């Protein structure tokens, strides 16, 4: 939380980010290391370590916010991913949903191990 969480520092404006959309409770910004032409991270401004440790009621407004992000960037086709825990590939322990898209194309899918 707070000082040692990189995404809390982004929320606080202590680390710069390329913001896409923001409201009182959520922030969307471009991933620093994109895996596709559109790679946005969507986070609650409140610190929760990951999906498993987030109260379920957070996800209803978060889903609405994600749809607004899609509208803002003008894509209808996209993939949402959240890595939960080290074994799930999580590196930053502040809940985030990866919003990934390839406008005008198709995202690949395949074996990850
Ligand atoms: P995870 O592996 O935890 O699901 O994803 C963490 C994501 O955060 C990675 O895709 C990584 O590129 C991104 N990331 C890490 N540090 C920063 C940063 O300082 N700024 C931005 N915009 N993205 C970051
Ligand atoms: Zn945090």
Number of CB atoms found within 10 A of residue 61's CB: 14
Classify residue 109: in a domain, yes or no: no
Classify residue 111: in a domain, yes or no: no
Average pLDDT over residues 83-110: 97
pLDDT digits (tens, 9 = 90+) for 33-82: 999 999 999 999 999 999 999 999 999 999 999 999 999 999 999 999 99
Classify residue 113: in a domain, yes or no: no
The number of distinct structural domains making up the chain is 1
Nearest ligand atom owner, CA of 32: 1
Q: How far is the centre of ligand 1, averaged over its atoms, from the C-alpha of 48 (Å)?
A: 15
Classify residue 108: in a domain, yes or no: no
| Nearest atom of ligand 1 to the alpha carbon of 98 | 4
Q: Quick one: 68 exposed, middle or buried, by C-beta within 10 A (0-12, 13-18, 19+)?
A: middle
Classify residue 62: in a domain, yes or no: yes
Classify residue 67: in a domain, yes or no: yes
Q: What DSSP designation does 58 have?
A: G
Q: Is 30 a catalytic residue?
A: no
Indicate the pLDDT class of residue 5, thresholds 50, 70 and 90: very high
Classify residue 112: in a domain, yes or no: no
Classify residue 94: in a domain, yes or no: yes
Looking at residue 66, which CATH number applies to its domain? 3.30.428.10
The domain containing residue 68 runs over which residues? 6-101
Question: Helix/strand/coil (H, E, C) string of 9-54?
Answer: HHHCCCCCCCEEEECCCEEEEECCCCCCCEEEEEEECCCCCCHHHC
pLDDT at 1 over 80: no
Indicate the pLDDT class of residue 10, thresholds 50, 70 and 90: very high
Q: Looking at ligand 1, which residue's alpha carbon is closest to its atom 12?
A: 33
Residue 2: per-residue pLDDT: 54
Residue 75: per-residue pLDDT: 97
Kindly report the average pLDDT of the chain as a whole number: 97
**Cα→Cα distances 113→24, 42, 88, 100, Å:** 38, 25, 11, 20
Average pLDDT over residues 9-35: 98
């Amino acid at each position: 939380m707070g000082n040692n969480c990189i995404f809390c520092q982004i929320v606080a404006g202590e680390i710069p980010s390329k913001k896409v959309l923001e409201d009182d409770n959520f922030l969307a910004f471009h991933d620093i290391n994109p895996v596709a032409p559109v790679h946005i991270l969507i986070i609650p401004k409140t610190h929760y370590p990951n999906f498993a440790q987030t109260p379920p009621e957070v996800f209803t407004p978060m889903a609405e916010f994600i749809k607004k992000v899609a509208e803002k960037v003008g894509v209808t086709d996209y993939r949402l991913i959240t890595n939960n825990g080290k074994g799930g590939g999580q590196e930053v322990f502040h809940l985030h949903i990866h919003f990934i898209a390839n406008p005008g194309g198709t995202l690949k899918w395949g074996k990850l191990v």
